[in-house]
Amino acid sequence: MALPEASVQLYTLAAEFTADMKGSLDKLAAIGLRNVEAFDFVRRPDEIRAALDASGLVSPTGHAPLLSDELWTPDGSIPTPAPEVVFEAAAKVGMKTVIDPFVPVERWITLEGVTDIADRLNKLADTAATFGLEVGYHNHAQEFIADFDGKTAYEHFVSITDERVVLELDLYWALVGGQDVVGLVSRLGDRLVAAHVKDGIAPAHNPFAPGAEKFGSDALDQRRAGEGEVPLAEALRAASALKYAVIEYDNNPGDDVFADIAASYAFLIEGGFAR
């Protein structure tokens, strides 16, 4: 397998990106990155495309809500536009893949809920194709709470989605969900085209489990790649068709987000896990 390309999820530097779009992208380019994964791009696709072009970067993947009326994050909710609006914006930015980043826990704990998620994505794959795009899903930890027929809700979801629906596995959140991360990567096979590369110490309990206390991203103990307990090296080596290794922090470990990104980029490049 050819090495995946290094990228960074712009949610990691959301405040810096909003304050100084081109300046932030220039700093990423100076680190050595050639790719980013856009976030909150639907309301400003032309602005983002112009800034990417000016900095010599591209956004082959991007996150946008496709499956919920609102996209929940630990730091607030984002309204969901119509899929056609999302895909039109993604095409303007120059994306290839639009990935839904979050479906709430209550929809992952019943078989009907999981089936509905898969059905929606299967239909969206057809719509996206008319824009020259594909769709995918990015996990957190709620997908690993329930089991159906001996499979986690996540792996059942994978089994009933069209192969055109791609997967982006967040390696940290898979560990938080109690998974054998390396084994999961191996089982996903060629469906896994992107991975979120973040490290940290998993909380004692799945924070998405029913009855768990509400949490914010600032409560997460996340660390630079190679400095936590996520088996990043082994997981990346186990991937068979990975195209993008995407650096992300929900909670930046240091005071300088660009230094944090540079450290994880060095882990990927110097370790021979990405190019």
Q: Look at residue 22 and tell me if it is in a domain.
A: yes
- Inside any domain, residue 86: yes
- In this structure, is residue 275 part of a structural domain? no
User: Structural domain of residue 72, as residue ranges?
Assistant: 5-270
Q: What is the CATH number of the domain that holds 146?
A: 3.20.20.150
CB 104 within 8 A of CB 58: no
67 pLDDT above the threshold of 90: yes
87: in domain: yes
What whole-number distance in Å separates Cα of residue 194 and Cα of residue 77?
A: 24
Q: What is the pTM of this model?
A: 0.96
Q: Which of 3, 13, 4 is closest to 248 using CA atoms?
A: 13
- Confidence grade of residue 69 (pLDDT, cut at 50, 70, 90): confident
Q: Is residue 116 part of a domain?
A: yes
Q: Give the chain's domain count.
A: 1
Tell me: pLDDT of 124 over 80: yes
- Match 């240091």 to its residue by tokens: 254
258 contacts 36 by C-beta, under 8 angstroms: no
241 in helix, strand or coil? coil
In a domain, 174, yes or no: yes
The answer to whether the Cα torsion of 42, 45, 47, 49 is positive or negative is positive
Residue 189: inside a domain, yes or no? yes
Residue in the block written with tokens 């068709």: 241
State the pLDDT at residue 78: 67
Exposure class string for 160-183: b at 16+ Cβ within 10 A, else e? ebeebbbbbbbbbbbbbbebebbe
Where would I find the beta strands (DSSP E) of the chain?
Answer: 5-8, 35-39, 58-63, 70-73, 76-79, 97-100, 134-138, 147-148, 151-152, 166-170, 192-197, 199-201, 221-223, 244-247
Q: Is 76 a domain residue?
A: yes
Reported as a single tens digit per residue, the pLDDT across 177-230 is 999 999 999 999 999 999 999 999 999 999 999 989 888 999 999 999 999 999
Q: How far apart are CA 29 and CA 115, in angstroms?
A: 41
